[in-house]
Amino acid sequence: MSYSISNAGPEPSAPHRARAVGATAGQWPEKKPMWPDRRLVDLLGIEHPLVLAPMAGLGTVELAASVCAGGGLGSLGCVGLQPELVMKAVDKLRRLTGKPINTNFFCHSVARADRAREANWRDRLAPYCNELGLDPSLAAGQSEILPFDDALCRAVEQVKPEIVSFHFGLPAPALARVKAAGCRVMATATTIAEARWLEARGADVIIAQGCEAGGHRGMFLAVNLEEEAASQPSTLPLVPQIADAVRVPIIAAGGIADGRGIAAAFALGAAGVQIGTAYLFCPEAAISPLYRDALRQARADTTVVTDVFTGRPARALSNRLTRELGPLHGVTPDFPTAMLALAPLRRKAEQQGSREFSPQWAGQAAPLGREMPAEALTRALAEAALTRFRQLAG
Ligand SMILES: Cc1cc2nc3c(=O)[nH]c(=O)nc-3n(C[C@H](O)[C@H](O)[C@H](O)COP(=O)(O)O)c2cc1C
Verify cis geometry, omega within 30 degrees of 0, for the bond prior to 336: yes
Across the chain, mean pLDDT equals 91
Phi/psi of residue 112, nearest 5 degrees: -80, 135
Q: DSSP assignment, residue 7?
A: G
The domain ranges of the chain are 37-110+146-219+226-291+362-394, 113-142+299-360
Residue 17 has pLDDT above 60, yes or no: no
What is the per-residue pLDDT for 113?
Answer: 85
Q: Are 123 and 332 in contact (CB under 8 A)?
A: no
What is the per-residue pLDDT for 29?
Answer: 45
Which residues are within 8 A (CB) of 208 and not within 5 positions of it... i.e. 6 or more apart? 189, 190, 195, 235, 238, 239, 242, 250, 251, 252, 253, 270
Averaged pLDDT for residues 267-278: 98
Burial class of residue 350, CB neighbours in 10 A (0-12, 13-18, 19+)? middle
> pLDDT for 226-235, tens place per residue?
899 999 999 9
> pLDDT for 301-355, tens place per residue?
999 999 999 999 999 999 999 999 989 887 888 899 889 999 999 999 999 999 9
User: Rounded distance, CA 286 to CA 284, Å?
Assistant: 6
Residue 295 has pLDDT above 60, yes or no: yes
Residue 16 has pLDDT above 90, yes or no: no
> pLDDT for 130-170, tens place per residue?
999 998 777 666 777 889 999 999 999 999 999 999 999 99
CA 366 to ligand 1: nearest atom? 26
What is the per-residue pLDDT for 394?
Answer: 85
Determine whether the shortest distance from the Cβ of 259 to ligand 1 is under 6 A: no
Determine whether the shortest distance from the Cβ of 210 to ligand 1 is under 6 A: no
> pTM for the whole thing?
0.92
| 160-172: burial string, b at 16+ Cβ within 10 Å, e else | bbbbbbbbbbbbe
SS3 11: coil
How far away, in angstroms, is 252 Cα from ligand 1 center? 12
How far away, in angstroms, is 53 Cα from ligand 1 center? 5
**Binning pLDDT at 50, 70 and 90, where does residue 11 land?**
very low
Determine whether the shortest distance from the Cβ of 252 to ligand 1 is under 6 A: no
Residue 53 has pLDDT above 50, yes or no: yes
Residue nearest to atom 28 of ligand 1 (CA): 215
What is the per-residue pLDDT for 9?
Answer: 31
Determine whether the shortest distance from the Cβ of 163 to ligand 1 is under 6 A: no
Of the ranges 26-35, 165-174, 332-341, 358-367, which one carries the lowest mean pLDDT score?
Answer: 26-35
Class of domain 37-110+146-219+226-291+362-394: alpha beta
DSSP assignment of 67-91 equals: HHHTTSBEEEE-TT--HHHHHHHHH
Residue 7 has pLDDT above 90, yes or no: no
What is the per-residue pLDDT for 110?
Answer: 86
Q: Are 52 and 77 in contact (CB under 8 A)?
A: no
How far away, in angstroms, is 140 Cα from ligand 1 center? 27
What is the per-residue pLDDT for 24?
Answer: 39
Residue nearest to atom 12 of ligand 1 (CA): 54
Of the ranges 220-229, 279-288, 377-386, which one carries the lowest mean pLDDT score?
Answer: 220-229
Q: At what angle do helices 61-69 and 374-392 cross, to 10 degrees?
A: 40
What is the per-residue pLDDT for 230?
Answer: 92
What is the per-residue pLDDT for 22?
Answer: 39
How far away, in angstroms, is 217 Cα from ligand 1 center? 9
Determine whether the shortest distance from the Cβ of 53 to ligand 1 is under 6 A: yes
User: Rounded distance, CA 313 to CA 329, Å?
Assistant: 10
Residue nearest to atom 14 of ligand 1 (CA): 215
Which residues are within 8 A (CB) of 173 and not within 5 positions of it... i.e. 6 or more apart? none
Determine whether the shortest distance from the Cβ of 169 to ligand 1 is under 6 A: no
What is the per-residue pLDDT for 28?
Answer: 45
Beta strands of 212-339 (E only): which ranges? 215-216, 250-253, 272-275, 303-306, 314-317
Determine whether the shortest distance from the Cβ of 314 to ligand 1 is under 6 A: no
How far away, in angstroms, is 97 Cα from ligand 1 center? 22
User: Rounded distance, CA 336 to CA 339, Å?
Assistant: 6
Averaged pLDDT for residues 94-109: 97
